[in-house]
Structure 1
Amino acid sequence: MESKLMLLAFSCKVSILSRSQLTSDFYSSSCPNLSKIVRREVQKALMNEMRMAASLLRLHFHDCFVNGCDGSILLDGGDDAEKSAIPNLNSVRGYEVVDTIKSSVESACNGVVSCADILAIAARDSVLLVLLGRRDGTLSNGTLANSALPAPFDPLDTIIAKFTDVGLNLTDVVSLSGTGAPDTTLDTAMLSDLQSLCQNGDGNATAVLDRNSSDLFDNHYFKNLVSGKGLLSSDQILFSSDEANSTSKPLVESYINNSGLFFGDFVNSMIKMGNINPKTGSNGEIRKNCRVINS
């Protein structure tokens, strides 16, 4: 039922929100089996690790916030690359999954589908449809990534401002729900559980971000915020900070009481984010390898 709501929301909004030259059927002739190929590889990745769905969403988010959705986060490039930026280093993941998908797509449709679109499809595959037609960027800007991406301990007004800079608004902030660092205002019972899980600073231990939720896409994340169980500081400030009272808190409460509203807003926000400064037409390129520009 939730998936049907997501698709209905998409079909109602796509004609309103579509900008630039992106279309949902961009590869219908040039690579007709694209969606099936991507879905197959994403499902393989999720069978191995369900958390990869959220990781791919986050990878797409971090790509779009720096020079638009152009796959630039996928480029290798040393200390100056987006991969090495503070918000991404040892944090953003899923690159190998994108590589695997790209290899399968190239076998079926050589030189046709951009890495930027592959990432967009992979990120949405567990939740919604997307518009396609992006081309790949040729520059990876780590300095811009450090300044443009919401930082772990940014106050709420700074996070909102960074979303505004790329054409997004408060609703997008809440529905897309940024990530960050462990929160010092955690519920005491949850803090005790985390301390037991992560004894002696074990960097190999992992914690569930959406506590007490299933692996389904739902609104439980917002229920956790009300209980003080938002694991990350950039999560919990959406409900518990002083600034939240007049900004994000009412939206959090609305999403708790109306999951359909959340699904609709999330679809809206994902479409808007995917439309951040895409390279289309003759701008950019179609990379053969997502990690390097074409020679």
Structure 2
Amino acid sequence: MMTKTLLALVVLLSVLGNSVAIPWYSLNLNYYRYRCPDTERIVRRVTQQYVSRKPSLAAALLRMYFHDCFVRGCDGSILLKSPNNDAERNAVPNLSLRGYEVVDAAKAALERRCPGVVSCADVLALVARDAVLVIRGPWWPVPLGRRDGRISRISEVNLPSPFANIATLKQNFADKGLNAKDLVVLSGAHTIGISTCALVNARIYNFTGRGDFDPAMNPSYVRSLKKRCKPTDFRSTVDMDPGSVKRFDSHYYNVVAQRKGLFTSDSTLLDDFDTRHYVQIQALTNGISFNRDFSDSMFKLGFVEILTGRQGEIRRKCAFVN
């Protein structure tokens, strides 16, 4: 007879379909049940303490988890520091990451309770999920048992770019075993994100080098962005989802459908039949399936190129190899 854990995973995988071969047997919802039974409670408590005081950390921690999983897999390598400043966190796209203190605090609390047991990779996975929960976003199951990587190289950071077109983005995701639906669903995380004018100024002031703006953008949106971002302003912040940046909801798709996506990577979701159809459905139905779909895609993301068994290590401190 199936255990409840196995049954739960089988049900989840049947919902996710066959778009990616997930090694469901390599992780376990009850992995720390005997060796550190309070793992999830401890991580949830610490995350709640930080994010309830500063809700913007939810977007930051979710972004950190995504950046970790897309480089060397979900192995916590984004957390490593290097004396030569040549680790993943030192790459340009990662310089704006924040929230490391939340992961470190959760890990420290776990080390006091059950030293040397819970990996930083698992802590980051749980923190990302719990941070979204604090701001009333969707829940998803986080099977555990990941091991920590020992390698973190700035040269290997090749994240999906905010300037990428749909073909490139689909290939980026396919390389990680994720499909077009995962791409458009996980892009929905921009509902709570912010950016800086530095990443959008060229789009609104000099898209082709002739002082023009990207024709894929709604002209009224360009005008509003120009009020926020002057030509030489690279520091001011801009909401990814105007009007709903503090709520984890499907409003992002309304924005994209109105050609108000902040990045090229947002706007280009309208350039593919499947991703455009998803955007339109969510916009028309007030996000009828977004929470469920986001949970499914985050579950899948957590299996990307993971280390298990005797691979890697269990770091005592997340910023340093043992």
**TM-score, length-normalised on structure 1?**
0.85
Q: Does 1:230 align with 2:261?
A: yes
Q: 1:42 to 1:193 in 2, by over 3 A?
A: farther
Offset, 1:204: 5.2
SS at match of 1:266: helix
The equivalent residue for 1:208 is: 239
SS at match of 2:151: coil
Output the amino acid matched with 2:79: L
Offset, 1:72: 0.4
Offset, 1:46: 1.6
Output the amino acid matched with 1:42: T
Q: Does 1:284 align with 2:312?
A: yes
The equivalent residue for 1:160 is: 170
* Deviations 1:237-281, CA, capped at 9 Å, x for gaps: 212xxxx24341111112223424222221221111100121111
Percent identity, aligned pairs only, is: 41
The equivalent residue for 2:298 is: 270
Output the amino acid matched with 1:287: R
* Deviations 1:43-93, CA, capped at 9 Å, x for gaps: 22222321211111111111111111100011012342111223222x322
SS at match of 2:110: helix
Offset, 1:25: 1.4
Offset, 1:10: 8.5
- CA RMSD of the aligned region, Å? 2.5
Q: 1:43 to 1:194 in 2, by over 3 A?
A: farther
The equivalent residue for 2:148 is: 136
In 2, distance between residues paired with 1:291 and 1:56? 16
Structure 1 contact 41–101 (Cα < 8 Å) conserved: yes
The equivalent residue for 1:43 is: 48
Q: Give the gaps of 5 or more residues in structure 2.
A: 1-7, 16-21, 205-213
The equivalent residue for 2:34 is: 29
Structure 1 contact 70–279 (Cα < 8 Å) conserved: yes
Q: Which has the higher contact order (CA 8 A, sep 6+)?
A: 1
SS at match of 1:269: helix
SS at match of 2:26: coil
In 1, distance between residues paired with 2:283 and 2:91? 34
The equivalent residue for 2:12 is: 13
Q: Does 1:169 align with 2:179?
A: yes
Q: 1:205 to 1:101 in 2, by over 3 A?
A: farther
* Deviations 1:84-113, CA, capped at 9 Å, x for gaps: 223222x32221221122112212221111
Q: Give the gaps of 5 or more residues in structure 1.
A: 1-8
SS at match of 2:106: helix
Match of 1:248 among 253, 261, 275: 275
* Deviations 1:120-151, CA, capped at 9 Å, x for gaps: 001111232211110100000222213xx112
Output the amino acid matched with 1:137: G
User: Of the two, which has the highest radius of gyration?
Assistant: 2
Output the amino acid matched with 1:292: F
Output the amino acid matched with 2:280: E
**TM-score, length-normalised on structure 2?**
0.79
Match of 1:88 among 94, 97, 117: 94
The equivalent residue for 2:252 is: 221
In 2, distance between residues paired with 1:24 and 1:98? 20
Q: Does 1:116 align with 2:97?
A: no
